[in-house]
Amino acid sequence: MAMTELKADVDPAEVGFDPARLDRIDRHFRRYVDDGRLPGWLITVSRQGRLAHVSGYGSRDVESGLPVEADTLWRIYSMTKPITSVAAMMLYEEGAFELNDPVSAFIPSFADVRVYVAGSEVKPLAVPATEPVRIWHLLTHTAGLTYGFHRAHPVDARYRDAGFEFGWPRGMDLAQCCDAWAGQLLLFQPGAEWNYSVATDVLGRVVEVASGQSLDEFLSARIFGPLGMTDTAFWVDEADMSRMAALYTPGAGGLRRLEEMGRVAHRPPRVLSGGGGLISTAADYHRFTQMLLDRPGSPGGELDGVRLLGPRTVAYMAINQLPGGADLETFGRPLNAEAPFRGVGFGLGFAVVIDVAAGKTLGSVGEYSWGGLASTAFWVDPAEELTVCFYTQLMPSSSYRIRPQLRQLVYQALV
């Protein structure tokens, strides 16, 4: 999908939006740029498979004075996770595994995992896992894995000590990282709680072993190529570097540029991170959300005659899989800001709204979503046949309440 194609292709009123109310979205988020909270942003809103609203504002590179454009390249970080989850479920549909299969069938180092019980990061007390880590646990973040950057638990500290915070030790590849994570203690018994983690990176390795292809080869051949996602990859060619948005964090006197983390995107990575490694454009990710969207005449899993998943598989991924129908508030550890916790459960690769009133934000039951570390976000709402994506490059994503504000402004525009 070329840059020229990322523009509204329907009168908003034709698909149930009040154009004047849609303008409130842009007015609100322009203030974020004007007062120095964000460098720039790009928003897409579609309904019934038609793009009703596309807008961008501010800079992709503040220092160079380069504006946000339709073909700007964004680090989507954890918005990589739903793509990796789709890849895994494509293999599931081919009979490569069952959801209850142990991860050790594909990554043998997961056969003897141990679970933290008490103690410090230096002298922890641990016991053997009472059941294996299963593929279902990876898809739902209930495996007991974690992230070093959480800074909420002694096991997080052990990840950092081993070189896993926002990256991995130099010289390691994905298979070696998975072995290292299997050698770390789990936070809890598999399936007992929800904790946002490297689980989707491990799932990416399962995709590699089950398919016999490297993760970048599989995604390119089976998802990006068929969907026409020509600008999505784990790194950016020299020729396209000028399109890349710079990465920022809030500083004392305004935005501070993150040079070192920003440079990671400029070369092929040793670790193909299915949990957070992809770079994409708004046009490409829009196509991914349209493939997922289940709407009359186009059941979920298909786009423009290309079917990646069966509609029942997509629907199954988008139901709450947490035991007892619990939400993340009661079953999860309150860590990340990629989704609210009240009234929101977790499916296979997505957060899923199960109680709109509890979440205190407009929306629909069954809406599923995720976001990225640099404040990008998307959601798919089958009830309203709606998809929304937001792109910027500000870390961390908990800096401002962009996501709930975007939701209230999109839904109030539906009339």
Please tell me the distance from the alpha carbon of residue 261 to that of residue 245, in angstroms, as a whole number.
Answer: 12
* The pLDDT of residue 374 is above 50: yes
Give domain limits for the chain. 3-81+215-412, 86-211
Amino acid in the structure at residue 290: Q
**232 contacts 284 by C-beta, under 8 angstroms:** yes
* The pLDDT of residue 265 is above 90: no
Q: Any idea which architecture 3-81+215-412 has in CATH? A: 3-Layer(aba) Sandwich (3.40)
Please tell me the distance from the alpha carbon of residue 45 to that of residue 389, in angstroms, as a whole number.
Answer: 7
- If pLDDT is split at 50, 70 and 90, which confidence band does 2 have? very low
- Which of 2, 18, 15, 1 shows the shortest CA–CA distance to 413? 18
Please tell me the distance from the alpha carbon of residue 151 to that of residue 147, in angstroms, as a whole number.
Answer: 8
- Report if pTM > 0.85: yes
* The pLDDT of residue 90 is above 80: yes
Residue 352, beta-bridge partner list: 345, 368
Q: Any idea which architecture 86-211 has in CATH? A: 3-Layer(aba) Sandwich (3.40)
- If pLDDT is split at 50, 70 and 90, which confidence band does 51 have? very high
**210 contacts 97 by C-beta, under 8 angstroms:** yes
Residues 296-338: tens digit of each pLDDT: 888 899 999 999 999 999 999 999 999 999 999 999 876 655 6
* The pLDDT of residue 126 is above 60: yes
Amino acid 305: pLDDT: 95
Residue 15, beta-bridge partner list: none
DSSP for 47-88, written as a single string? ETTEEEEEEEEEEEETTTTEEP-TT-BEE-GGGHHHHHHHHH
- If pLDDT is split at 50, 70 and 90, which confidence band does 352 have? very high
Please tell me the distance from the alpha carbon of residue 87 to that of residue 92, in angstroms, as a whole number.
Answer: 9
- If pLDDT is split at 50, 70 and 90, which confidence band does 339 have? low
- If pLDDT is split at 50, 70 and 90, which confidence band does 3 have? very low
- If pLDDT is split at 50, 70 and 90, which confidence band does 4 have? very low
Rg over CA atoms, the chain: 20
- Which of 75, 76, 79, 71 shows the shortest CA–CA distance to 7? 71
Q: Do domains 3-81+215-412 and 86-211 have the same CATH topology?
A: yes
pLDDT, mean of residues 142-152: 93
